[in-house]
Each structure stands twice: as structure tokens, then as C-alpha cells.
């Protein structure tokens, strides 16, 4: 079988069964740890229940580092996948060359070697069947790996969208909080000023009444204000 028949779109998959590897894209400890830390830091609140500027900066910095780690991990996975694919390709070429050599020996064999040839032919057919079976299994594994890779890409897009939505929500909450705080502060100040003016007016009235009362009392005693 020609190696070129392998779908080029599957070149980024990993031949995990052939080389005893297991997919680890969803179990990368550094990537999972970053996501967990991100969830924890996202819950930190400031004094008024909102993230302060320093925490927001730390959160965004952490998110950037998480994306960088994820990108580096994907690049490393792609490199390893390509190396495994090339190794399998070389083995398939070597196997096809061996099959062609056996066929050439068969054509050049004489009648004396007919019995030996038939025995070799049976062995060769068994090997071909085994190789075809392994190749089919390998292609299925490649398709599965490609599907997992596409799922990882979709998960990355979803995480990015969720992060952007959360940032927008936090920013909107901050704006609403600032607006509400300003309104409460203005309302409180206006109410305080109103009460202060009312108290001042009441105090001035009482003071005037008290002064008038004192003047009358002094007049009854025969005293004048300028004599005191």
C-alpha cells in the first residue's frame, strides 16, 4: 500500500496505539493548574465586593500566562505528533519495500522453489493482512486524535469567550457600582444639607425668641441691655 494514501489532514494526529502513548491534551497538569488557579483568583473581591485595580491586573496577567502555557503545550504536542507520524511513515515505506522485494523474488523463482514460494506467499499474505489491519486501526486512531484536537480548539474558543464575557460583566458592574455610589453620596449630602438648614433655621428662631424673652424680663426688672 502506498503511504501517500494517508490523509494529509491527519498529519497533526498522534499514533498513540502504535507507540504506546495515551492522549494527554485534557490532562496537562500545568494547563489544568492554571485553570484552577484562574477560578480561584476570579473569586477574590475588594473591600466593596469588587476586584480592585491590582487584583484585576493580576487576573489579566494570569490569564495571559495561561494562554501562553496552553499555546506552548499545543506546539510541543504538534511537534511530537509530527515526529511520531514521520516514524510511522518510514516504517510503512520499509514494509512496502519488503513486500515488493518478496514479490520480485517470487517472480524470479523457478518451479523447484514453487513449494517454498507458496509457503512464503502465505506468510506474506498474512503479513499484508496484519499490516492492513494495523493500518486501518491506525487511521481510525488518527481520526480520533484529530477529533480530540478539534475539540480542544473549540474548548479554547469557549474559554476565551467566557473570559471576555466575564471581563465585560465585571466592567459593567464596576460602572454600575460607581454610578450607584455617586448617586447615594449625592443624595446623602443633599439630605444632610437640607437637615442642617432646617436645624439652623429652627435654632435662629429659638435664639430670637429667647433674646426677646430676655429683653422683656430685663425690662420688667428695670434693667436696660446697655447697663449689663
pLDDT (0 to 100) of residue 219 = 77
CA distance 73 to 23: 13
What residue ranges of the chain have pLDDT lower than 50? 1-46
List the beta strands (DSSP E) in the chain.
none
The dihedrals phi and psi of 196, each to the nearest 5 degrees, come to: -65, -40
Q: Coil, strand or helix: which one is 19?
A: coil
pLDDT (0 to 100) of residue 38 = 44
Among left, alpha and beta (phi > 0; psi -120 to 50; other), residue 110 is beta
pLDDT (0 to 100) of residue 48 = 54
**pTM > 0.85:** no
Q: How many CB atoms lie within 10 A of CB 138?
A: 21
pLDDT (0 to 100) of residue 226 = 56
Amino acid at each position: 500500500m502506498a503511504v501517500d494514501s494517508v490523509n494529509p489532514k491527519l498529519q497533526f494526529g498522534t499514533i498513540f496505539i502504535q507507540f504506546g502513548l495515551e492522549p494527554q491534551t485534557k490532562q496537562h497538569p500545568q494547563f489544568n493548574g492554571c485553570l484552577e488557579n484562574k477560578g480561584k483568583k476570579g473569586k477574590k473581591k475588594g473591600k466593596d465586593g469588587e476586584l480592585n485595580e491590582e487584583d484585576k491586573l493580576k487576573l489579566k496577567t494570569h490569564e495571559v500566562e495561561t494562554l501562553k502555557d496552553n499555546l506552548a503545550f499545543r506546539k510541543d504536542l504538534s511537534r511530537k505528533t509530527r515526529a511520531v507520524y514521520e516514524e510511522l511513515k518510514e516504517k510503512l515505506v520499509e514494509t512496502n519495500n519488503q513486500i515488493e522485494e518478496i514479490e520480485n523474488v517470487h517472480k524470479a523463482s523457478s518451479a523447484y522453489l514453487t513449494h517454498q514460494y507458496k509457503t512464503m506467499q502465505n506468510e506474506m499474505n498474512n503479513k499484508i493482512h496484519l499490516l492492513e489491519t494495523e493500518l486501518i486501526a491506525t487511521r481510525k486512531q488518527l481520526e480520533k486524535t484529530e477529533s480530540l484536537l478539534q475539540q480542544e480548539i473549540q474548548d479554547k474558543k469557549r474559554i476565551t469567550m467566557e473570559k471576555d464575557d466575564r471581563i465585560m460583566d465585571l466592567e459593567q458592574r464596576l460602572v454600575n457600582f460607581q454610578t450607584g455610589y455617586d448617586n447615594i453620596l449625592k443624595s446623602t449630602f443633599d439630605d444632610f444639607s437640607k437637615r442642617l438648614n432646617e436645624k439652623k433655621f429652627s435654632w435662629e428662631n429659638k435664639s430670637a425668641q429667647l433674646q426677646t424673652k430676655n429683653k422683656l424680663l430685663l425690662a420688667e426688672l428695670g434693667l436696660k441691655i446697655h447697663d449689663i
